[in-house]
Amino acid sequence: MVLQTNRSTEGINKKRIRINRQITAREVRLIGAESEQLGVVSLEKALQEAENAGLDLVEVAPQSTPPVVRVIDWGKYRYEQDKHLQKSRRNQKQADIKQVRLGLKTDTHDIETKIKAARKFLDQGHKVRINLRFRGREITHPDLGRGVLERFVEQLTDEATVEQQIALSGREMSTVLARKKDAKS
């Protein structure tokens, strides 16, 4: 089924909603302005019903047989849908991925400082990517790098889980940690 594009409806759930003469079905299941079931009627009768009420005919369930249409105020419906969408976006929290960089020769005190930074990021609800960069001939010893990353992750196991296993990509070895669900708030 090919839906006609309608610029004014693109904001609502990214789906195209057909209104009035854009509806293509011959017969539709009509729901009136007061949410009453009016049964299966021809499209022309449904359009006449909407016009008599001074409202629009909106296709609310195009996938059903016959399609379900409703007599409503299109502008008000669109406004309410946009407000609902904004409210749901407002309640979502984007988890940023913070990055901690290490080297194969990073000293123990520096690693402890970076562990503190990673804990702070996790406490704020962010995910943490730990990157270990191999320089020069260090790339010939990926097992040493894996050991450094494993010790780093081991220090954070009380409040983090490994979301992405340790992987080598080019000259970088990395892993991603996320906060445990049962960690203290």
Whether pLDDT at 183 is above 70? no
Residue in the block written with tokens 């930074």? 117
Distance CA 104, CA 12 (A): 50
In percent, the amount of the chain with pLDDT more than 70 equals 88
Helices (H), 6-165: 43-53, 74-90, 108-123, 142-155
pLDDT value at residue 13: 44
Span of 49-63, 105-119, 138-152 with lowest mean pLDDT: 49-63
On whether the pTM is more than 0.85, the answer is no
**Domains of the chain with CATH codes:** 7-89 (3.10.20.80), 97-179 (3.30.110.10)
**pLDDT, average across residues 159-168:** 90
Q: Which residue has the higher pLDDT, 116 or 23?
A: 116
* Residue 69 structure tokens: 């249409």
